[in-house]
Structure 1
């Protein structure tokens, strides 16, 4: 039931990130609570909290280097509560692969279709809704870890 709840939260996260390029703190908190409950049920809450701390520190560093948005770091940390530290690297790899697919999609959509084929001016660059890639990448690893 918790994994399904997490999937619904991911759909909500993705839609907000796509349309607003924001990830509300309340949504990150809800994801963290569900992730922590998953970890608690598996008997690995301490490891999950350690994973959250690792991702928060790395996310803050990437934010300071202008490589990551603050909301993206909070979102990744919230999902990390469901994972062991050894499961973080596969989650990041899934996220990077999905982020590449997402970037390719936006490149085709914004630059090729809108600008060149439809002769529409591009909207002001809003960046990628990378929360979508984070949510899907971490969720895939959660599925691998719990099933």
Structure 2
């Protein structure tokens, strides 16, 4: 098992999966459709489907799997699962954020996580203002649809990584 992991990590950069312009156009629209479904479901039901997370993971692997993807996934998983462990966000949010990691370049990994936090803060502020009008207990009971900041951040940093 360790030998297989070593072989994956030690592959030269030229073995990275790349898609041409026409394919990237279709893959981009596919990713937008999946992300729209995630955001819609998260706003309505506050749940993120495992099938949608797996779909995003497959598209992410198609877009940008390289020798650094495994390292990004390991580092990102540790950070994102720690957020879940400390009850900062739900398991679906962690799975969704992890699904984007293979397509995000290592130079943007921390920026990706910080941008999720920034957009999540903006969302929390909007919901706080909304809670002033409808009652803060109602907003607390429903929670925040954190899938939206994760999807927007993932889309932005996948585009930056290409």
TM-score range, shorter chain: 0.7 to 0.9
SS of equivalent to 1:71 = helix
Show structure 1 runs of 5+ residues with no match: none
Query: Which digits, 9 at most, give the CA deviation of each residue in 1:2-48, with x for residues without a partner?
Result: 222212111111011111111111110000000000014xxx2x322
- Alpha-carbon distance in structure 2 between the residues aligned to 1:80 and 1:3: 16
Question: Which residue number in structure 1 is paired with residue 76 of structure 2?
Answer: 55
Q: Is the partner of 1:102 in helix, strand or coil? A: helix
Question: Mind listing any 5+ residue stretches in structure 2 that lack a counterpart?
Answer: 1-25
Name the counterpart of 1:36: 61
Shift of 1:66: 1.3
Structure 2 residue 30 is the aligned partner of structure 1 residue 5: yes
| Superposition misfits of 4+ residues, deviation over 2 angstroms | 121-124
Alignment partner, residue 93 of structure 1: 114
RMSD: 1.9
Displacement of 1:122: 2.9
TM normalised by structure 2 equals 0.76
Instruction: Mark the CA change 1:13 to 1:103 in structure 2 (over 3 Å): closer, same or farther.
Output: same
Q: Distance in 2 between matches of 1:133 and 1:35?
A: 17
Within the alignment, does 1:115 sit opposite 2:135 as a pair?
yes
TM-score between both structures, scaled by the size of structure 1: 0.83
Between the two structures, name the one with larger relative contact order (CA 8 Å, sep ≥ 6). 1
